[in-house]
Chain A
Amino acid sequence: MRLLTSSPFASYRWVRLSSLVVLLAIWQVAATAMTSETFIADEYARSRNAVYFPSPVVVAEAIWKSATTSSGLTRNVIEVLGFSITTHDLVFNIYQTLYRATVAFVIAMVLGSAIGMALGRVKGLNRFFDGWVLLGLNMPALVVGILSYIWLGLNDTALVVAVVINKIPLVAVTTREGAAAVQPELLHVARAFRLSRWQTLRRVFLPQLYPYFMVAARNGIALIWKIVLVYELLGRSNGVGFMLANSFSTLDVDQLLAYAFSFIGVVMLIESFIVRPLERRATRWRM
């Protein structure tokens, strides 16, 4: 699980950057071609404007518009620690989605890790609950979401509960694998030198699980934000998922892509400024 964190190639960043530029250029050309007169040769299609594919410039404009105006679709007031901050569409909805995803992520990681460690260390438990975990892994996310909304109402609690239930089996399976792979030799060292339980847990047991926690966290982030969007689309009246649903019902492709790319950007920022530095710290000793 060695990571390409510090690349020895100074040109590495440039490769990434130029690949991004090439992608944008292809997009721009394709968008222009597909909406041009020559491409839409079919008279019927042209009249319906059947294919509408906005160029990156148009999407950038749409992002700017959402970031600076309020359409009135959502309330656009962020409440943090008793303060109310009035914002516009884009910031408010991304904030809502991130907030839900973060709460669900933390709860799922804590519960899933605890369950996974118990299953990995206690054979009897694992034998008994293995079927449950399998059931959980294969339960469609949509089913959990719909049931949660039916039983708990159309609110954030129902959304978070549904995400957590979706995510726990995945975290548990990963940490279970880690807990089962813990080396008894090192635990013997802890016992022979009579370390306290707390020291044994913190300094000997958990460090062996860090790589597994990191895998669970990574997969968790990738999965959770997608599930949150679906659940927002299903039963919430704000958040990125809700705005995507709104774009669908009004066939507003500009807005759809504006939200999609903004959110991708935020997720990538989280990845490179929070997840990767943490990962680097946890695996420093392998270098």
Chain B
Amino acid sequence: MNALDVDIRRKVFSSPTLDFVALSQLKFTVPRGQFCCIVGPSGSGKTTFLNIVSGLDGDYEGEVRIAGHAPGTGPRLGYMFQSPRLMPWLTVEKNVALVATHRAIAQGMPRKLLEQVGLVASVDAYPNRLSGGMQRRVALARAFVNEPPLLLLDEPFISLDAPVANKLRDLLLDQWRARGATIVFVTHDLREAIQLGDRVLFMSASPGRVVLDLPVPLDRPREWEGRSIDEFRAQLLTEHPALLAGLEQSRLAEGEAVRAVKAGAA
């Protein structure tokens, strides 16, 4: 059974003045244990898609199954957001324990994961005492604490220095390997997707759908700043020049799409 089956026919955001089609004919599957990166221009509905999978948004046409279960049912997922989103009034350890199941608590998972991400000295600190990188490590520990079969990450390493981001990527890969989870990693950074993924899905500008499904044939462990990554990326961009154009012109395209729909509605 696949870890994730996606068949979203349409996802529309309705308002009195316009209907905005965020996703359309988005269809793919992710086998168990795969590290699947999704790349797309901003506004292509990546976060919308994650909200549907995580059960935050149930208003869509189509079907999504996580190991055979509808979103919001079945086993709990892990989720890492763009910002750490920790509860500032809870200590680091309590933040992780907050989302842990009884089983995970009984097994001492919160403490174990915090040790693995190198935060054992900060378990009793409040999040606003920590640096941005450390807060994201807490968020990473929180995402893995229930050993979820599927983990969703929404550009979690955005706005970090390269060394800090690379350290976090290492930690993420360590956890992924150790726990055998399936990962759906959303980013708008093609380089990051190639660094991390077994496979990269390219989404179009809105309405988002998969325009290219590409395996990453590079061996692991990969060097973050290594040549092979750059070469693969360069090769990709010569073969599919539209991709880079799509990524770079994303903001423009998004604005145009909204205006076009608006004009149609009027």
Q: Mark B81-109, 1 if CB is under 8 A from A, else 0.
A: 10101011110000000110000000000
Closest chain B residue to A206, Cβ basis? B89
Q: Tell me whether B128 is interfacial, beta carbon within 8 Å.
A: yes
With A185-B81, A185-B83, A285-B126 in contact, do A192 and B90 touch (Cβ < 8 Å)? no
- Report the Cα distance A266→B137, complex, angstroms: 49
Q: Any chain B CB within 8 A of the CB of A189?
A: yes
Determine the distance from Cα of A207 to Cα of B56 in the docked complex, in whole angstroms: 22
> Which residues does chain A contribute within 8 Å of B99, judged by CB atoms?
189, 193, 195
Residues of chain B lying within 8 A (CB to CB) of residue A123 = none
CB distance A285 to B55 under 8 Å? no
Q: Is B185 at the interface (CB under 8 A from chain A)?
A: no
CA distance in complex: A191, B90 (Å)? 17
B77 interface hit (Cβ, 8 Å): yes
Give Cα A210 to B87, complex, Å: 13
Query: Residue B76 at the A interface, CB < 8 A?
Result: yes
The verdict on B135 contacting chain A, using a C-beta distance below 8 Å, is no
A192 touches B89 (CB 8 A): no
Q: CB distance A203 to B79 under 8 Å? A: no
B247 to chain A, nearest CB (A): 26
A127 at interface by CB-CB < 8 Å: no
Q: Which of A192, A204, A207 contacts B54 (CB 8 A)?
A: A192
Of the residues A186, A188, A192, contact of B87 by C-beta under 8 Å:
A186
Inter-subunit contact B89/A285 (CB<8 Å): yes
| Bound Cα distance A241, B98 (Å) | 49
Please report the C-alpha to C-alpha distance between residue A230 and residue B113 in the assembled complex, in whole angstroms.
59
Residue pair A192, B56 in contact (C-beta under 8 Å): yes
Are the C-beta atoms of B126 and A191 separated by less than 8 Å? no
Main SS of chain B's interface residues? loop
Q: Find out whether the CB atom of B76 lies under 8 angstroms from the CB atom of A188.
A: no
B91 to A, closest residue via Cβ = A285
Q: With both chains docked as a complex, state the minimum distance between the C-beta of B99 and any C-beta of chain A, in angstroms.
A: 4
In whole angstroms, what is the CA distance A51 to B128 when docked?
Answer: 59
Nearest chain-A residue to B90 (Cβ)?
A: A203
Which residues of A have CB within 8 Å of B72? Answer: 194
- Interface: A286 (CB within 8 A): yes
Cβ of A199 within 8 Å of any chain B Cβ, yes or no, is yes
In the complex the two chains form, is A189's CB within 8 Å of B85's CB?
yes
SS class, residues of chain A in contact with chain B: helix
Given contacts A199-B98, A285-B126, A286-B128, contact A191 B87 (CB under 8 A): no
Q: Write out the residue numbers on chain B whose beta carbons fall within 8 Å of the beta carbon of A210.
A: 89
Q: A189-B81, A193-B79, A195-B98 are in contact. Are A204 and B87 (CB under 8 A)?
A: yes
Task: List the B side residues contacting A204 at CB < 8 Å.
Answer: 87
Question: Residues 43-80 of chain B: 1 if any A CB is under 8 Å from the residue's CB, otherwise 0?
Answer: 00000000000111000000000000000100011010
Closest A residue to B142 by beta carbon equals A193
Q: Which of A190-228 contact B (CB under 8 A)?
A: 191-195, 199, 203-204, 207, 210
Task: For the complex formed, measure the closest distance between the CB of B135 and the CB atoms of chain A, giving whole angstroms.
Answer: 13
B126-149 interface mask toward A, CB cutoff 8 Å, 1 = contact, 0 = none? 101000000000000010000000
| Minimal Cβ-Cβ distance residue in A for B54 | A192
Residues of A53-96 at the interface with B, using a CB-CB cut-off of 8 Å, are none
- Give chain A nearest CB distance to B146 CB in angstroms: 8
Cα distance A185–B82 in the bound complex, in angstroms:
10
Q: Are A185 and B98 closer than 8 Å at their CB atoms? A: no
B85 and A203 contacting across the interface, CB-CB below 8 Å: no
Residue pair B79, A207 in contact (C-beta under 8 Å): no
What residues of A have a CB within 8 angstroms of the CB of B126 in the complex? 284-285
CB distance from B237 to the nearest CB of A (A): 34
Contact of B76 among A185, A186, A194, A284 (CB under 8 A): A194
Q: What residues on A are CB-neighbors of B79 within 8 Å?
A: 189, 192-193
Q: CB within 8 A of A188: which of B56, B90, B128, B142?
A: B56
Beta-carbon contacts under 8 Å, B189-215 to A: none
Q: Which B residues are CB-close (under 8 A) to A188?
A: 56, 81, 85
CA gap between A189 and B88 in the complex, in Å:
13
Whether B128 contacts A191 by the Cβ 8 Å rule is no
Considering the complex, which residues of chain A in the window 175-190 have a beta carbon less than 8 Å from any beta carbon of chain B?
185-186, 188-189
Q: Which residues on the B side are within 8 Å of A192 (C-beta)? A: 54-56, 77, 79
Residues on B with C-beta less than 8 A from A199 are 98
Within 8 Å CB of B76, what residues of A? 193-194
User: How far, in angstroms, from A284 to B83 measured CA to CA in the complex?
Assistant: 23
Whole-angstrom CA separation of A204 from B90 in the bound complex: 10
Give 3 closest A-B pairs by Cβ, nearest first.
A193-B99, A192-B79, A285-B126
Residue numbers of B with Cβ under 8 A of A are 54-56, 72, 76-77, 79, 81, 83, 85, 87-90, 98-99, 126, 128, 142
Sample 5 A-B pairs with CB under 8 A, ordered by A number: A189-B87, A191-B55, A192-B54, A194-B55, A286-B88
CB within 8 Å of B: which residues of A? 185-186, 188-189, 191-195, 199, 203-204, 207, 210, 284-286
**Extra A-B contacts (17), CB below 8 Å, given A203-B87, A286-B88:** A185-B83, A186-B85, A186-B87, A188-B56, A188-B81, A189-B81, A191-B54, A192-B77, A194-B55, A199-B98, A203-B98, A204-B87, A207-B87, A207-B89, A284-B126, A285-B88, A285-B128
